[in-house]
Structure 1
Amino acid sequence: MRKSTKLALAFAALAGAVGTTAYAENNASAKMRDDMMMRLDKTMRDSNGTITFDQFSDAMNARLKKMVADNGGKLTVAQLADALEKARYERMAKRIIERYDTRGDGTLTTNDITSRQKKIFAVLDRNNDGKIDKSELPKGGRFGRHRPSGANDEDGMQ
């Protein structure tokens, strides 16, 4: 491959990565802004339509201030990253439990997983023959993100 072609491909890959990162950051910023506005709206409702600086500050950064206080008045990048990662995974775990928990007791069992899988299988098995063939898979949407048959994974496995 010519050097100019390699450089062009490298530039295209870099531009794609930067664009994807910018898109993700914009979405994260919009979510943070929406979360902030929801906290402010709640604080305003709870305070008859006006808020003081202390109420504003508490609404904006109560969790962050608590983390700083819990860590001796200083918070490192590693400590903040660990806390953010833990919070993210806890939210994900909560959603999974809510989705699968058939008893409503906040726990996940193999029976819960099997029950959910049976429901999904039944929805996909449109002709009720106990098998799912390619024609029964949705073309788009949540279950439609499958690769065409014969497509290889990155490691060469099917």
Structure 2
Amino acid sequence: MRKSTKLALAFVALAGAVGTTAYAENNASEKMREGTMMRLDKAMSDSGGTITFDQFSGAMNARLKKLVADNGGKLTVAQLADALEKARFERMAKRIIARYDSKGDGTLTSDDITGREKKVFAMLDKNNDGKIEKRELPKGGRFGRHHRWGGDGNGGDVQ
């Protein structure tokens, strides 16, 4: 592969990663605002429709204040990043377990993974012939537009 092609592919990969990160950050900010509003609504309903500063402060950043207290009254960028990353990955892990856990016991087994794969395969194998063909893939979303399968998601080849 020529050097210019490699550089172009690296740039495309980097641009995709940056775009995905920007989307995730916007989505995370929106979820944070929704969570804040839910906490404020709850605090107001718990206290008859009005809240004091102390109630407001408690509803706003209780977890952040706990992190500061747990770290001797000061929180470094590294400590905060570690806590945020851990919380993010714990949420992701809970979603994955919930999606795959067929017994509802909060654990993930090889049988759970295989069972989930069989369900997804069966959904994609629209003609039930035991094979997934490119035309059976959705035109968009998670399984669509995968160039490695040779399609543009619309039944045509990628140019």
TM-score (ref. length: structure 2): 0.76
Q: Distance in 1 between matches of 2:22 and 2:143?
A: 27
Which residue pairs with 1:46 in the alignment?
A: 46
Judge which range, 31-40 or 89-98, deviates more. Answer: 31-40
Q: 1:134 to 1:22 in 2, by over 3 A?
A: closer
Q: 1:104 to 1:147 in 2, by over 3 A?
A: same
CA shift, 1:89, in A, is 0.3
Superposition map of 1:120-131 within 5 A: 120-131=120-131
Aligned length: 137
Q: Distance in 2 between matches of 1:24 and 1:119?
A: 28
Which residue pairs with 1:62 in the alignment?
A: 62
Q: Distance in 2 between matches of 1:23 and 1:69?
A: 32
Which residue pairs with 1:133 in the alignment?
A: 133
Which residue pairs with 1:84 in the alignment?
A: 84
Which residue pairs with 2:5 in the alignment?
A: none
Structure 2, unpaired ranges of 5+: 1-11, 152-159
Judge which range, 139-148 or 129-138, deviates more. Answer: 139-148
TM-score (ref. length: structure 1): 0.77
Structure 1, unpaired ranges of 5+: 1-12, 152-158
Point out 4+ residue stretches in structure 1 off by more than 6 angstroms: none
AA aligned opposite 2:122: A
Q: 1:107 to 1:74 in 2, by over 3 A?
A: same
- Determine what percentage of the aligned residue pairs are the same residue: 77
Q: Distance in 1 between matches of 2:22 and 2:144?
A: 27
Q: 1:82 to 1:107 in 2, by over 3 A?
A: same
Q: Distance in 2 between matches of 1:23 and 1:100?
A: 26
Q: Deviations over 1:25-70 (max 9, x none)?
A: 5444333222211110111112221111111101001101111111
